[in-house]
A and B are shown apart, each in its own frame.
Chain A
């Protein structure tokens, strides 16, 4: 499933066409979510001295959807974290930034980002508040010349007049900018999935038998919960650690100019070329050594953060480089033991899952789609995209 299932999409559109919810309403519901997260999620940690308020949420949402926050007015946070595409991008393996520049990794979802203990696939940042600032001035993402420049732009936009003052008691500045977006992101709590209603809610009819079998395999024979952890009363499906599956290693060493590249030229029609044929029309692919880039410890080469698996059916394609297209591809990847190399996590090994067992695990992963996803998309789309000339 690349996108939302058609039924879900139809519902989303139906509700969206019903007209935007009243602004105050969405903010209040967002506040309610933070106070009482949906079934399956633990309490949200709020930074000391910075309570989440309706003003901060509304301001953060507006900033997140504002294309004027990039140097040439084309890219907002939401262009790479698209609400209807699981708050990531289903249409790209790796992200595309300002002026089409190459971003080397797949955009992760910002759903439930408030629970992340480190930010990015390599965990190089430590909080939502500081994470916000990175894409704004990253040359390949939003391309602003400096943070001061961004603040000056915001101060010059009449629709922001008084907004920072009201939310933070101070004019627009770098720290409140980060705090505003982080405040809204913390409200994107997506759970109460069929799995949650069954596993934590005790509703045996919430999921199919396939899902139940899949979860037994996930937490048993397949060993997935070693890294994608599940607690007694909630589950984030991540140990917040970094592991090597071999994909990073393969990209660094195990590719050859003779590798075939299958190019889809029309639905169901492919042309196979060699990687070297793409040379004259490609920039050199950027390197990616994973967690090592942060710690400089050779042990950490090609390790990436364990992602949460919540809403994973909505966030294809998968892994830090978007190289696996479907959940079946991912489970099949684990079933063969990942890509063997010296740094491979010892937990990743051939699993001997049958075709049917793989199907069950996929069914389980698909049961992790939040019951409140439509509410979250509506929350996101309650604000008009900010554009030059508004």
Chain B
């Protein structure tokens, strides 16, 4: 379906044009992973590197959080190898990361210390540098703790919080920064007490997690997880704590993208996490999964223009708490990939009918499984293992890996794995792709692999 695998850079305007083109199913020179902001420049074809935002782990190497760069260029002498590792210092509960719209900088956040590390990925895509650290996020934002998703809007980064500095519970806000790292505004999540003009369902918990935008419909959607106390604590201790378990998100909020005003709060109990919008020009819907109740939810705009939430499928056997975590939608809106943590399994759903996802494939990737990144052409899939420092499994089940597979439409074919414990790196979490082509660059493939230098980040 992908006609060209040449490398071109897409700007936001080009993506918009692409989306409105009738032949959207066959993008002329398609982009990379399918879960990014539509405002963002895209890689087409083969990605060169996968940047893995990695948690430092006690007793492993330098114990520090780090950005790990993996060479995924077929034919490269260092293919399947770590080519760079940059330690930022401390264990910040490294979690998600996202590029600015121009894709020159990667914002990687820490859920514990609320620090945001901004890496320059354009000067040398093979070797990101630390450009700037925001360490006053809580102070500047007026008390938001736990920056999670760093989502590109034009010239801006919209950052979802998970918690606050008053009680470390789940009430939180969206925090908007310029690409240069200056705070623009804090937009508090609507609550029952203070709906901020939103129409509220059964509850409005004011919790946050992920964010995605559908510019065409002037819509922004947020989901809801839990506060600092829960995401930081021992997983087993939390599950057994009846009070703690009452504090999980039950909502998805619909926002006006341009005014940043919450419009409606939908009931989605069970901790809805990642949000993925469909790409089709008439597909006014997104998917999310609820971690605790193991359901796939469709968030869709109905015929009256009202946004609604509907549970459309189960993930595995919900009574076993498989804990769906990361999800990924294919560029043609036919597949939804769902990773679940407890059973280490990826499941592929046929979502041709978004109201009736059907499981069509599943595979155990490891003893635990969290993130998943897909190439735009749906041919390459990358997986990592770590969920949260104190939620990861213990003992022998604590496998920490990066795994690369090819997807041939019916089967995952293993390409290579990197053992992050053996390599003394830590707990690999979120992945983002890098490519020379984004910056009009070309690099010759190395003819021999160089040993990794475990660099310490320093702002130059």
Contact = CB atoms under 8 A, between A and B. Distances in A.
Contact of B229 (A72, A96, A282, A285): A96
B69 interface: no
Nearest to B115: A388
Nearest to B92: A72
A279 B236 contact: yes
A181 interface: no
A85 to B, nearest CB: 7
Interface string B65-93: 00000000000000000000000001101
Contacts of B235: 278, 281-282
Interface in A228-266: 261-266
A90 interface: yes
A209 to B, nearest CB: 32
Contact of A262 (B140, B233, B242): B242
A312 to B, nearest CB: 16
Contacts of A278: 235-236, 239-240
Contacts of A84: 166-167
Q: How large is the interface on B (under 10, 10 to 19, 20 to 34, 35 or more residues)?
A: 35 or more
Contacts of A389: 135-140
Contacts of A388: 135-136, 138-139
Given A100-B234, A280-B394, A265 B293 contact: yes
A81 to B, nearest CB: 10
Given A72-B112, A265-B292, A387 B165 contact: yes
Interface in A37-92: 67, 72-74, 79, 82, 84-85, 89-92
Contacts of A325: 242-243
Contacts of B193: 10, 13
Contact of A100 (B90, B112, B246, B269): B112
Interface stretch (B25-33, B255-263, B385-393): B385-393
Contacts of A271: 318-319, 321
Nearest to B136: A389
B229 A264 contact: no
Interface in B113-144: 113-114, 135-140, 143
Contacts of B418: none
A336 interface: no
A111 B377 CA distance: 61
Nearest to B247: A91
Contacts of A262: 242
A263 B245 contact: yes
A357 B190 CA distance: 42
Nearest to B290: A266
Given A93-B241, A93-B243, A280 B393 contact: yes
Contacts of B269: 266-267, 269
Contacts of A279: 236
A281 B138 contact: no
B244 interface: yes
Given A263-B239, A271-B321, A385 B166 contact: yes
A309 to B, nearest CB: 20
Contacts of A94: 237, 241
Interface string A159-173: 000000000000000
Contact of A273 (B114, B243, B245, B321): B321
A265 B318 CA distance: 10
10 contacts: A2-B243, A79-B167, A84-B167, A90-B243, A99-B389, A264-B246, A281-B394, A385-B166, A389-B137, A390-B139
Interface of A: 2, 10, 13, 67, 72-74, 79, 82, 84-85, 89-94, 96, 99-100, 102, 261-267, 269, 271, 273, 275, 278-283, 285, 316-317, 322, 325, 385, 387-390
Interface of B: 90-91, 93, 112-114, 135-140, 143, 145, 165-169, 193, 227-229, 231-237, 239-248, 250, 269-270, 290, 292-293, 318-319, 321, 389-395, 397
Given A91-B247, A100-B390, 9 more contacts: A10-B193, A67-B165, A74-B228, A82-B166, A91-B229, A93-B242, A263-B239, A322-B243, A389-B135
